[in-house]
Amino acid sequence: MLNFYCWILLSCNLLVYSATALQETNPHYKPLPSLREQAQIRDTWLNERISRIPSLLKKHGVDAWLMSQREHAEDTIWWSIKNATDYDAHRRTVLLFHTNGSALEGRPNPIKWVDNTGQVWPELLQTLINFNPRRIAINVDENIAFGGGLHVGEYDTISRALGPEWIQRMVNVPLLGIEYVTTKLESQLKYYRDMQHIVWLMMEEGFSHRTILPGVTTTEDLGWWFREKMLTLNVTTWNHPRVSVLTEESFPGWSGTEDIIHEGDLLHIDWGITAMGMNTDTQHMAYVLRDGEIDAPDSLKQGLKKANRMQDIHLDIMRAGMTGNEVLEKCLVQMKIEGIEGQIYSHPIGDWGHDAGAVIGFTNLPQHVPVLGELTILPNTYYSIELYAYHFVPERNEIIRFRIEENAYWDKETERWKFVKGRQENLWLVDQSRNAPLLKVQV
């Protein structure tokens, strides 16, 4: 083999090879705005979101929303309410959102106290007495994180400070936190698209001969390549890149596999990036070409196609106003009609990789999800459409789960979810023959 490559190099123009390789190793990543601009953009979004809280309170039948937290023990909602240049809450930060009625005219919304002397409590009490809200939402839900972020020490402190009369007016309204966190603004989509472009370019580069040397590179090497690459692209992650060599046993989980990547392998990645207060969550698959192959075997393409069909079914059925379980049930019925076996486990995405709101299946709850599946799917949200199709691969005599995931936004015109940047319809191909001559020369 080595002789053969040397022969190619001698008989071809070395410069041509170098130029091609150079061009290939520099895919064009469009930079996100500078951090300073990002902060301005994020605060504009934040102000718009916060300005909707008074009407959100009215919609959910409450007059106020009280949050209290200490530095390092923040309410979950804090991360969707804080300014871009703020991080942890300072000292004890108490926020009182109100319906902005005449009783609190001229006061900010939220009214905010940062305190470590106890001074907040008489002031809060006096504010409540003046405002006289009948129902005050606090985040004490037992099941929903976005409605359950009030720490128990804070609750005890509030109870003592305000007394039973006010505690009686406190109500648990988890839908408030869910709707606040999960609702997207139209102006976010442009940047969410840019993030998806970064993700796709990274996959194109990661699943290629530029990054993988079959027989040498491991799945973990590749996972860490993605981690390091993110640093150079000024994005972070909420989800360590999990790279697997897919086999019959591979099941969606919280880790990749520990394998050396070989020719003929079917690869899979599950990961997301974080930037500008938003998160992505993507799963794609790749095939490592064998010597002489120019495309993936047809059986693998068919498996991906089947998973694509499940995506179509999912997006066709999914509507705002349905519960997660209703969507799940209808998808399963349609899959059965079409003879497709597989599983769906989609979730909202946005401020968090796993965002607030109705989920559509779980890997361990394939047919019905208590609580989170019973929630109603809200419009103006992003969803991560996550699923797998079983497909028999005769060459390997194995049934493989074809696992893919793409992020979708709610399209106002059609009132449907659409993929932010299309979807994977072709396996990424790792084509070792493309840089083998150069690699051989380097060693």
Ligand X SMILES: *[C@@H]1O[C@H](CO)[C@@H](O)[C@H](O)[C@H]1NC(C)=O
Binding site residues, ligand X, CB under 6 A:
29, 31-32, 34, 51, 54, 81-83, 86, 100, 105, 109, 112, 233-234
Strands (E), 260-339: 266-275, 278-279, 282-288
318: region left, alpha or beta (phi > 0 left; psi from -120 to 50 alpha): beta
Helix (H, G, I), strand (E, B) or coil at 66: strand
Report whether 124 contacts 96 (CB < 8 A): yes
Helix (H, G, I), strand (E, B) or coil at 133: coil
341/78 Cα distance (integer angstroms): 41
Residue 149 or 256: which CB sits closer to ligand X? 149
273/211 Cα distance (integer angstroms): 19
Residue 82 or 314: which CB sits closer to ligand X? 82
327/377 Cα distance (integer angstroms): 9
Among 387, 59, 148, smallest CA distance to 252 is for: 387
CB of 99 to ligand X, least distance (A): 9
State both tokens at 206.
């990661």
Residue 57 or 335: which CB sits closer to ligand X? 57
Report whether 254 contacts 394 (CB < 8 A): no
CB of 242 to ligand X, least distance (A): 24
CB of 104 to ligand X, least distance (A): 8
Among 94, 101, 107, smallest CA distance to 162 is for: 94
Residue 17 or 29: which CB sits closer to ligand X? 29
**Phi (first) and psi of residue 213, to 5 degrees:** -115, 105
CB of 303 to ligand X, least distance (A): 34
CB of 279 to ligand X, least distance (A): 18
CB of 30 to ligand X, least distance (A): 8
Q: Which residue is nearest to ligand X (CB)?
A: 31
Residue 34 or 433: which CB sits closer to ligand X? 34
Residue 73 or 365: which CB sits closer to ligand X? 73
